[in-house]
Amino acid sequence: MVKNIIIDTGCANLFSVESAIKRLGYPVDISDDPKIISQADKVFLPGVGNARHAMKNIRQKHLEATIKALQQPVLGFCLGMQLMAESSTEGVKPSTEGAAGEARQVNGLNVIPTRISPLQARGKRLPHMGWNTLTSVTEHPVLTGIKPGDYFYFVHSFAAPVSEFTVASCEYGSTFSAAIAKDNFIGCQFHPERSGALGRKIIENFLEL
């Protein structure tokens, strides 16, 4: 039987992701067991909250090396996408408040070469919350059937810049990566599980890889 696994990082609305997958007719389990995750056919990395807390949980659960070593397809949602980056400044206190020697960034999983920083909203309200359109879409199997102008649901204040690893972009005050990908890892800044039919399309594309 095909094994689809949602990683339990302790920082995610796991059941909304689980429900979205099951509604499409696919089996899925939730686990934080490195052995079970390693043996999965497809892996989901959802996340809500901030990067510092999420990476702390991942390391406490001894999942960092497991996730980085995965060769099967891995799909990250929102914070899960951001955790795939080299680093993030989310959850880090300003230097004027932090203790001496406190890290100015959170080291991520470093499976996609990009860095997460505050979204440059240029006066627009943060977090960027609600429906927004993609401004560009690059050919990628998970994005089959998705095009510029399609709406997805976002909730975030930090973002990845547009880079060679960007496969979809969005604009909110400035342009940022709506989806990034490298090798078997792909991450969506938006929430596919909250994005209606197009979000379901992305999840199904991923499960059919």
Active site amino acids: 78, 191, 193
Q: Is the dihedral of CA 45, 115, 49, 119 positive or negative?
A: negative
Cβ contact 133:195 at 8 Å: no
56, with CB counted inside 10 A (0-12, 13-18, 19+), is: middle
Bond prior to 127 in cis (omega within 30° of 0)? yes
Measured distance CA(21)–CA(90) in Å, rounded: 28
Q: Which amino acid is at 70?
A: L
Cβ contact 134:168 at 8 Å: yes
Measured distance CA(170)–CA(45) in Å, rounded: 21
